[in-house]
Amino acid sequence: MKILIDMNLSPAWVSVLEAAGHTASHWSTIGSLNAPDREVLFWAKANGYVLFTHDLDFGAILAVTEAEGPSVIQIRAQDISPDHAKNLLLNILNKFAENLLQGALISVDEEKSRVRLLPLRRDKTE
């Protein structure tokens, strides 16, 4: 799987993910360090990457735009270092690989994970 690591996560995640057999890139090697979230999302989708982030804004963008991709994994743990959260992320990648290929927003912490398939749609009331 190809994974784009957002600026709010350490570039050390690249080697962790590559050691597990994934293709990984940190945004700092691709685009502007202060690029807007929409630009990061667009690049990930255009290049077939899953976005890995600690930023909750990406879920909001997916919901508002009802986008069908890219898939986003939001880590919501306090300690987001690779040393602490490596197994958490690798388990999510394995367990939900099919969902990620189809398009999903996955929020994960040490206690639980929540998977929502894309596009995210708000219930409309009349």
The pLDDT tens digits of the residues spanning 36-51 come to 999 999 999 999 999 9
68: exposed, middle or buried (Cβ count in 10 Å: 0-12, 13-18, 19+): middle
Q: Which helix (H) or strand (E) holds 12?
A: none
Provide the pLDDT confidence category of residue 121 given band limits of 50, 70 and 90: confident
The pLDDT tens digits of the residues spanning 14-36 come to 999 999 999 999 999 999 999 99
Q: Could you tell me which residues are beta bridge partners of residue 5?
A: 26, 52
Helix, strand, coil percentages for the chain (3-state, nearest 5) = 40, 20, 40
pLDDT of residue 124: 47
Please work out, in degrees rounded to the nearest 5, the angle formed at the alpha carbon of residue 58 by the alpha carbons of 88 and 27: 75
